[in-house]
Structure 1
């Protein structure tokens, strides 16, 4: 692992590295994810620590789905998009678009900010119950309902705004098409796409 990258081990921050599991839009573990852990730059971890403290003061916690993503994983997404549709994940992850359209519509990129090490996919959970906060759609739902400002109901809209407020206050910028996706504004490697595996 690059010397400036570390596992995100912050007490109170939970994780479920979706691409290390069968529970993602490809339907199987993705190249480069050897363990179910979240990795990021030290700068990302410092900012997430601040975000966790801010969320905790509101009775909330952070659950991370992805951080650093090896380029080989992105390449795996590209190969998957070229394969015939088998329908296994379509209803949940891309109900209204084809695999190839995921790239054209900006949900998946051939060069991902995640590969630079300072982008994270995450949501909120309630500290008292451990339950995820309703967000009006799950991780990697590639649909307009996932866009910031989408009509998702009062509770989900408030939760999305709460997450956005926390993250923006801690130095992140949001990605408008995915309510769960945030990138550190002052990322240390803005032009470098890493490819070491997570393990």
Structure 2
């Protein structure tokens, strides 16, 4: 497994919210949100103003081949805010769908729930702090 994101301080989430309200500059639109406006990320459920990452209970991850270090094909990049990122998305190959299902089954067996809109996003079912959003910086 390759972990992309784990704990995220609330101040980082707040910064992202402020960024989403700024005029579009085009720098990340094609890679991360090609079919929506940046403000719609929150409205459509791709980003939350109060994130499970800030509770320390959510991870973004994928599978990779240990022998080669290559990422396993999942059909859509990490942090792509688009319907192709949803679990059960149409338009991905059978291999990519199987890889997503494999990741999902491993995470479910390990006590995590998937997030319908993002194949890479999992939250611990029995969170130790389900109502706390931490804001300590990571150095």
For Structure 1 versus Structure 2, the TM-score category normalised by the shorter chain is over 0.9
How many angstroms does 1:127 deviate by? Answer: 1.2
In the superposition, the TM-score normalised over structure 2's length comes to: 0.98
Q: Distance in 2 between matches of 1:82 and 1:137?
A: 25
1:143 aligns with 2:82: yes
Which runs of no fewer than 5 residues in structure 1 stay unpaired? 1-61
Q: How many angstroms apart in 2 are the aligned matches of 1:154 and 1:65?
A: 24
Alignment-derived partner of residue 95 in structure 1:
34
Instruction: Name the CA distance, whole Å, in 2 between partners of 1:127 and 1:177.
Output: 27
Q: CA deviation at 1:134?
A: 0.4
Partner of 1:164: 104
| Deviation digits for residues 71-92 of structure 1 (CA, Å, limit 9, x no counterpart) | 0000010110011101111011
Work out the CA distance in 1 between the residues paired with 2:109 and 2:116. 17
Question: What is the number of residues matched between the two proteins?
Answer: 138
| Alpha-carbon distance in structure 2 between the residues aligned to 1:140 and 1:130 | 20
1:123 equivalent in alignment to 2:62:
yes
Shift of 1:198: 1.1
Structure 2 gaps, min length 5: none
**What TM-score, normalized to structure 1?**
0.69
Q: Distance in 1 between matches of 2:77 and 2:131?
A: 29
Give the Å deviation of 1:130: 1.1
Runs (4 or more) in structure 1 with deviation over 6 Å come to none
Partner of 2:123: 183
Aligned-partner Cα distance in 2 for 1:168–1:177: 16
